[in-house]
Amino acid sequence: MKSIMKLIYIISISVLISSCAVKNNLNKPIDNTFNRGVSQYSYLTKRLNENEYPKTYHKDKDILETSNSEWWCSGFYPGTLIYLDEGVNTHVFNKKINRVLNDLKREQYNTTTHDLGFMMYCSFGNAYRLDPKPEYAEILMNSAKSLISRFDEKIGCIKSWDASDDSFLVIIDNMMNLELLFWASEYSGDKKYYDIAVKHANTTIENHFRADYSSYHVINYNSNTGEVKEKKTAQGFADESAWARGQSWGLYGYTVMYRATKDKKYLNQAVAIAEFILNHPNLPKNKVPYWDYNAPNMPNALRDSSAGAILASALLELNSFVDKKTSKKYFSAAKTIIKTLTSKEYIAEEGTNGGFLLKHGVGHMPQNSEIDVPLTYGDYYLIEAMLRYRKQVQKM
């Protein structure tokens, strides 16, 4: 009897260990990727001159492409440094973060761009989340005021790109900038920021999405009448194709909309976008998308690691809002993406890739710009996805 009980005990322990191993089998690659990220960004920071922001790296010419604070990606660099410190529980980048934020803060008054969410919330928003200083809050509020200056009541949207004629251009990416407005509304108690975000999201649902819940990249409204003039792409394969990063932006944006409003309309929209992506016949088994879901030359078309990273991060929030079965599906898909993106195929060797972490991003294929290179936002959203995965696994 004792031998039988002992055998049962051993089997139970083995099953438990096996279960934990299955559940947490990404712990090691994620830990390794965080450590690699610290190493890479320590190298990257040394290559940057004062007040430069990394955009991408061209391996063939060993050129690190940078920008100043006005570029739409400027917030991802300090945001990534903040996430890396959070991920390894140190303050290795603290001084650098403070120096970069001190330069970036000038953009709080920039009214020429719709990307202040990317620029200021990914940077100062994360800084405030971990250390709620009044100066950070003031910068974020000024940024939100600058962002809503681009809102047009007749159109019902925040303008993305300026035009010289009567065009009012809105891109799906703009959904990502609304999180700043929700923060501003909650912090200030002023509902106008909330209302503008909701209006923009509703107009986008009405005009950006097709019947299958894929989205156009660009909608061109008539600024005088508010009517839609064109539905097209800039960075995708064709006007009627599904540009991969754009689909990820939409999924992430409507997940945030539901979190902020608890309006089921936005949850339904996010789920419908997720289902379009995950059930797409051209989505590879490892869940890292081709640069466009309708790209030519499959299966030899380039993947876009940044689209995969954004997708993983979005799914790891969306899974907390849906039923148990769907949650498991979304968690599993995100886990597959992270497993792929933390593999040797996608993670740079130490001291390579210009100091960036993630390889194989695609920026703007039609313009032959940033093709199969690291992208600053790819790193940011991969690290965010890994942080979200860790937190969910810890709760299991």
**Structure tokens that stand for 284 in this block:** 């590879």
The verdict on residue 169 lying in a domain is yes
The verdict on residue 16 lying in a domain is no
Model confidence, pTM: 0.94
173 is an active site residue: yes
Catalytic option among 31, 60, 103, 115 = 115
Please name the residues in contact with 183: beta carbons below 8 A apart, sequence gap of 6 or more: 121, 125, 140, 144
pLDDT digits (tens, 9 = 90+) for 223-270: 999 999 999 999 999 999 999 999 999 999 999 999 999 999 999 999
The verdict on residue 21 lying in a domain is no
* Nearest-angstrom CA–CA distance, 280 and 197: 29
What is the model's pLDDT at position 78? 98
The verdict on residue 54 lying in a domain is yes
Tell me whether the omega of the peptide bond preceding residue 289 falls within 30 degrees of 0, making it cis: no
Domain containing 239 equals: 35-395
The verdict on residue 29 lying in a domain is no
The verdict on residue 366 lying in a domain is yes
115 is an active site residue: yes
CATH code for position 71: 1.50.10.10
The verdict on residue 102 lying in a domain is yes
Chain centroid to CA 17: 34
| Three-state helix/strand/coil letters over the chain | CHHHHHHHHHHHHHHHHHHHHHHCCCHHHHHHHHHHHHHHHHHHHHHCCCCCEEEEEECCCCEEEEECCCCCCCCHHHHHHHHHHHHHCCCCCHHHHHHHHHHHHHHHHCCCCCCHHHHHHHHHHHHHHHCCCHHHHHHHHHHHHHHHCCEECCCCEECCECCCCCEEEEEHHHHHHHHHHHHHHHHHCCHHHHHHHHHHHHHHHHHHECCCCCECCEEEEECCCCCEEEEECCCCCCCCCCEHHHHHHHHHHHHHHHHHHCCHHHHHHHHHHHHHHHCCCCCCCCCCCECECCCCCCCCCCECHHHHHHHHHHHHHHCCCCCHHHHHHHHHHHHHHHHHHCCCCCECCCCCHHHCCECCEEEEHHHCEEEEECCHHHHHHHHHHHHHHHHHHHHC
What is the model's pLDDT at position 25? 85
Chain centroid to CA 201: 17
Closest CA to 338 of 33, 7, 15: 33
What is the model's pLDDT at position 162? 96
In the chain, which stretches have pLDDT less than 70?
Answer: 1-24
Catalytic option among 85, 173, 292, 304 = 173
What is the model's pLDDT at position 321? 98
The verdict on residue 11 lying in a domain is no
Tally of domains within the chain: 1
